[in-house]
Each structure stands twice: as C-alpha cells, then as structure tokens.
Structure 1
Amino acid sequence: MTEERRRHFGAYLARLRRDAHKSQRQLAAMLCAVSGTHSLTRNEVSRWERGERIPESWLLFIAEVLGVPVGELERAAAYARGELEGPPFGAAVVLSELIPPGDSLTPHATRTGRRIGSGEVASLAARVHGLRLADDVLAGGDLMAPAFRELSKAIRLYHESTHTEAVGSALLTQVGELAQIAGWIASDAGRHEQAERAYRIGIEAARQAGDGPLVANLAGSLAYQLSNTGQERAGLDLARAALEEAGPGAPPKTRALFFDRVAWAHTRAQEAQPAMQALGQAHDTLTEADDDEAPQWAYWVSREELEVMDARVFTELHRPLRAVPLLTDVLRRYDATHAREVALYRSWLAVALADANEPEQAAREARRVISASVDIASDRTASRARDVLRRLQDFEEVPEVGNLLHDHGHLLSA
C-alpha cells in the first residue's frame, strides 16, 4: 500500500512540475539554486516522480519553486508515508495519473506545416459536433473508424502546423472535445482500452488549453466507463475528482452532468445515500443553468436526461416504484430516432418491472430491447440485453419469461 501511495505522490509531483512548464532537469537546477546546494540532479527528481523516494527535506523548496502551498505538499507526503487516510490532494493525484507519458501533445520544436488560423479551428469544431450528433442516432461500431481518423488528423494538425498561441489553444480544446466523443464511441463499441487512451489524450489537451470543465468532462466520461466495467472504486474516485476539477465556477449545466456521474458512481459502488444526494445536487444545479453559458458539448444535458439517470439509480438500488413511472414517462416522450438510448432505457424499465414483481411486462420490454439490439452495433446495448435476461431468470416459470429465455437464452453465453 505504501508503495502505491508513493507512486501516487510521484504522479502528483510530476503533474505539478508539468503545470509549471519545467523539465526534470530545470526543476533540479532551480531547487539547487534556492537551497544553496549543488547535490540534486535530474535523476533524483526522476526517482521522486517514479515513487521510489519521498523528497522529505526538499518539500519547502519544491513549494517555493513550483508555487504551491507547502502544507499541501506536506499532507501529500504524509499520505505517501501512510500517515493519512484518503488522498489529501483531491483531484490532483487522480487526474495526474491519467496524463499519458511522453508529453504526446508537446508541439514539435521545428514545424514545417502550413500556417492555420481560426477558420481551420472552426471547421474542426463543426466536424466534432457532427460526430456528437451522429452518435445520437448511430452506435459505436458504426462510428469508430471515422472518429479515430478525425482524432489522429487533429493531433497531427496540432503537431505540424504553425499558428498563433490563441489558435493553438483553441485547437487543443477541439482535440480534447474530439477525444471525448471518440472515447465515448469506442466505449460504446466495447473497445475500452482505446476509449481510455482517447480520454487520456483529451485530458492532456484540455489541460494544456486551460479548459477545466472539458478536463472534467473527459475524466467523468472515463469514470463512467470504469464504474460500468468492474472498477467501481476507481470510477467513484475519478468521478469525484472530475467534479472537483471543474470547480464551482463551471457552467451549471456541466456541473449538473458531473453530479449525475458522481451519483452513478456511488450507485455502482452500492452507496445509496451519497448517490441520492448527488442526484439532488444535479437537479438543483440544473435550475441555475443558462444555455448561453454552457459549452456546445453539453447540448444534450436536460431535465429529461437527469430523470433518466434518476430512474437508473432507483433501478440499481431496487426502488422500482420510483423508477418505473419515470422511465415510462421518459420513453413516452423520447425521440424514437435515438434507437440505442431507447433500447438502453427500456432495459432499465424491464429490470425495474421485474423488481416490482411484474415479470410479464418485464418480458415484453425485454423482447423489445433484444429486438433492437440485433440492429445496433453497440456493446452497451448487447450487455444490457444480457443483464435483463439474467434478471428474468428468477421468473423462468412464468410463461412469457420462459418463452423469452427459450428464444434468447443463448445470448447469455455470448
């Protein structure tokens, strides 16, 4: 455990150094200068960042050079030594470990590409939003190839083109937004490693652009994937870190989304009371929302979508009397062209109906989910169809359920 905590500390220190735009060699030289010694080398800084050592006698000087409170560093060191419970530095250590090694978005020292301006950035932004809108009606398997082609092209454009600092920052923001939707698409296709890599690249781009809400959206998207793939505690830590990263000044619409993701992470971790509290915070925050303040990527966040999450949480917590009316009402009003979402929401309704001891209705909804999933290239939908069948196995003596399992039980072994 102490070794893992030292590694956390090292990642945290590396994050602070990168945020100060210093190399390991530069940090070592600056620490020598302020301390009046010449004994520190880049190799020692590297050992700190790998978690091999804690720079006990250097904390005061590190704080001075990097411009961080010395108390924060001391608490972080105490955590690394095993003297404190719970990471004392909040989002910083969690997010620092998501930055890919090698500074993959550091611009090339010599650029030979053409000069670009705001027009090219606006064109990229339009393509990014086009992918978001396509994701509303198509599934991950349909969009993987074009999404990752666009991401690769955008990163290459940033590396190779020449541009002003303002254009470069705007371009990084679009790389971050593109990485988020590419990661979301990959996750829907069941390509979780590719999704995580995209999210990490996006976090790095958004950090360099200074876009806290976008960093939080990317981290929250990855947290959602972790929560749904058996890494509930990591998902919860990251969802809370994302909310903290966004800060209280983030647009209310985005904070409502981040609270919703925290609610789901608590739910998957079987923590009912914090989940319910986060749901309430999401709704309260959304009432303050002004669409003019929200970034374009938050276009889909609405009261209706929050109600869907409410119902999913209620279903997961086995509160069907609250889940069924919400899901029934949402599905009655939901855009039928969003076939994947409709199938997913019906899957939650089927489970809630089973919990409410209405297996016949649950079986009818399950058939609709399975029928839709055949035509949707979505791993999420296929997985939810299996979850519904597993839940209904408790009612196999009911004719409607028995027939359903006879027809589709083979999906459980897929």
Structure 2
Amino acid sequence: MARRTARLRRLDNYLGGTDTLPLYEAEIRSTITTLRTGTFSDSTGRALLSLLAEQAQRAGWAAFDGGNENYAATLFTKSRSIAMEIGNQLLAANALALLAYQRASLGRPNLSAAEASRLPTDARFNPIVRALLLERLAFTYAVAGLERQAGHALDEAHDALDQPVDDPAPDWAAWVDRDERRIMTGRVWSELRRPLRAVPELEETLDRFNDMYARDKALYSTWLASAYLDAGEAEQAAHVLMRSKRLCEGIASPRPTARINALRERLLPYRDVVPIAEALA
C-alpha cells in the first residue's frame, strides 16, 4: 500500500489537482477499509494510520491545487489529528506547514501555524524534512512582509539541506533538492519585492526545469515575471508570462491561471508596448 501511494504521488508532477483528487480519495477509502476490516499487529496498525495521514495530506494538496480550499484545510487538519494520535511528529508538523502554506498562498498568512511547524535541530528529525518545513515557513514570513525572519528561515533551510543524511527522507519529502531550494528562495525574495535576489535564483533554475512538469514550471515562472516587473523590466515579464500561459494550458489546476491574471493587471499600464500588448491579448 505504501509503494502504491508513492507511485500515485508522482502523478502530481504531471497532472493538476482536479484530475488527481479522485485517485487520492480512493486510496484513503481503501486504507480506511483495511483498518476497519483487516487483522494486523499493533505496529502494522500504526503504520496504516501513518499511511492514512500521509494520504490525507496528498489528497488535501490535490484539493488545494484544484481550488477546493475548505476541503483541503479539512484534510490537512484530519491528517494532523491522525499523526498526533500515533506520535508521528514529522507528519504532524508537515500538516501544519501545509495549512500555513495554503493560507499564505491565498494572501492570508497564518504565522502561528507556520511557526508551530518548525522542528528542532535534532538528530531524530530528517534534515530534508526540516528543510522543507523551513522553506514553507520562509514563504509565510515573506507573504507577511517579514523580511528578516524570512531570510533567517531560508538560511536555516539551506543549512539543513546541506547536512549529511544518514537515512533517506520519507517519500513525501524526497523531492526536495537544491534546485527546489533555489526556486523557493527566489519565490521568497520575489514576494518581498527584492528582484535582484529573486531573478538569478529563479531564472537559472527554471531554465533547467523540464517542461514535462508544466504546472509547477508555469506557476514558479509567475514569481520570475513578478520579479522582472519589480525591477522595471516589463517586456521581459511579459515574455515570461506568455511562456507560463502556454505551459499551463490544459492543466487541471487554477493556481497558475490565478497568478497569471493578477500579473496581467500589473502589465496593463504598459499595454501600448507591442510585446506586452501581445502578452495581454
């Protein structure tokens, strides 16, 4: 069941949340049925509950990606409750981080939830997971306009990701790497309107980013376009925005489109410039 969950998780690399949510909900139902009707040891029961908490987070992410905000928050909250019941601190912290990230993405940062997701510097906690949670904390700080705290959280995330890892990260955090760290760093500085810091991180990393991951590349590119606008480079911002729009066509996620539409509004004062007029069209 854990291997199947890991395989299905990879679908999020290629599909939007509207497409993946029914699959993830089916996995939740299957695990609940096993818990209710199966016969197993206590350790297997805890492992099944841990898997259920993980699956609820994955389904919550799909709901968030598909624009179903209330359902996403309900799933994240349920996941945290299950994780706390079985003493899985990593999953409990990640559920809080996801709740905070969702709120920050909607422009309503929840500092208390984000800060409560921070794990102590302790050999018990996988450094890759710590890096993931710290990056999301930095993003919440950035949306709240707290530059010093955001920079400090980024520094901590960088340090965590550079630590030697004795055990592999859990599968739900295994995608965190140095490229992902650079993208999140660029997004944080873009939110803080610091384009000289944001553009190099985003531009170089997105150049290497495979177009197969269309939703994520389209989404991350909007922070690059925003940074270009803050730097006074409206034509370059329009070019990035057009590329982002092409990438997300047919992807069942409203998140890139919502950011593209917001950036189009910022480009309207430049609509007499031909390349920008083409982007706005």
* SS of structure 2 residue aligned to 1:300: coil
2-structure distance, mates of 1:154, 1:247: 33
> Partner residue of 2:279?
404
- The answer to whether 1:332 aligns with 2:212 is no
Q: Which residue of 2 aligns with 1:281?
A: 156
Residue pair 2:221, 2:241 contacting (<8 A) in 1 also: yes
CA distance in 2, matches of 1:205, 1:318: 38
Q: Is the 8 A contact 1:359 1:398 kept in 2?
A: no
Decide which of 353, 359, 363 is 2:234's aligned counterpart: 359
Q: AA paired with 1:202?
A: S
Residue 392 in 1 paired to residue 267 in 2?
yes
**1:302 CA drift (Å):** 0.9
Runs of 4+ in 1 over 6 A off after TM superposition: none
The DSSP-based 3-state class of the residue aligned with 2:148 is: helix
> Aligned match of 2:194 in 308, 316, 319?
319
1:295 alignment partner in structure 2 = 170
CA offsets, 1:1-23, max 9 Å, x none? Answer: xxxxxxxxxxxxxxxxxxxxxxx
Q: How many angstroms does 1:144 deviate by?
A: 1.3
Instruction: Give the % identical residues.
Output: 37
Greater Rg over alpha carbons, structure: 1
Higher relative contact order (CA 8 A, sep 6+): 2
The correspondence for 1:307, drawn from 155, 179, 182, is 182
Q: Do 2:143 and 2:192's aligned partners in 1 also have CA atoms closer than 8 Å? A: no
Match of 2:72 among 195, 200, 205: 195
CA offset at residue 349 of structure 1? Answer: 1.2
**Gaps in structure 2 of 5+ consecutive residues:** none
Q: Which moved more, 1:313-322 or 1:285-294?
A: 285-294
8 Å CA contact 1:187–1:225 kept in 2: the answer is yes
**What is the aligned partner in structure 2 of residue 376 from structure 1?**
251
Pairwise CA distance, 1:152: 2.1
Deviation at 1:396, TM superposition (A): 2.4
* Separation in structure 2 between the aligned mates of residue 154 and residue 379 of structure 1, nearest angstrom: 29
Per-residue Cα deviation, 1:359-403 (whole angstroms, up to 9, x for no partner): 111111111112222211112111121122122223223222223
The answer as to whether partners of 1:251 and 1:289 remain within 8 angstroms in 2 is no
The 5 A counterparts of 1:207-218 are: 207-218=84-95
Q: Give, in angstroms, the shift of residue 285 of structure 1.
A: 1.1
Against the structure 1 CA distance between its residues 128 and 309, is the aligned structure 2 distance closer, same or farther, given a 3 Å change threshold?
A: same
Residue 3 of structure 2 corresponds to residue 126 of structure 1 = yes
Q: One-letter code of the match for 1:185?
A: A
Q: Deviations over 1:321-380 (max 9, x none)?
A: 121111111012112211111111211111111111111111111111122222111121
Q: CA deviation at 1:291?
A: 6.3
User: In structure 2, how many angstroms separate the alpha carbons of the residues matched to 1:335 and 1:216?
Assistant: 30
Displacement of 1:137 after TM fit? 1.4
Aligned residue in 2 for 1:16: none
> Which residue number corresponds to residue 181 of structure 1?
58
User: What CA distance in whole angstroms lies between the structure 2 residues aligned with 1:361 and 1:204?
Assistant: 46
**Contact 2:211-2:247 at 8 Å conserved across structures:** no
Partner residue, 1:242: 117
Q: 1:196, CA displacement in angstroms?
A: 1.2
Question: SS of 1:288's equivalent?
Answer: coil
TM-score, normalised by the number of residues in structure 2: 0.94
Gap runs ≥5 in structure 1? 1-123, 408-414
Tell me the equivalent position of 2:222. Answer: 347
Q: Secondary structure at the match of 1:221?
A: helix
TM-score, scaled relative to structure 1: 0.65
Map 1:72-111 → 2, pairs under 5 A: none
SS at match of 1:294: coil
1:373 and 1:385 in contact (8 A); partners too: no
2:98 corresponds to which of 213, 216, 221:
221
Output one character per residue of 1:108-129: Cα deviation in whole Å (capped at 9) or x when no partner.
xxxxxxxxxxxxxxxx111211
How far is the alpha carbon of 1:149 from its aligned partner?
1.6
Q: Contact 1:257–1:282 (CA<8 Å) still a contact in 2?
A: yes
User: Is 1:152 matched up with 2:29?
Assistant: yes
Q: Distance in 2 between matches of 1:140 and 1:240?
A: 27
Which amino acid is 2:27 matched to?
E
Number of aligned positions between the proteins: 280
The question of whether the paired residues in 2 share the 8 Å contact of 1:190 and 1:378 is answered with yes
1:172 match: 49
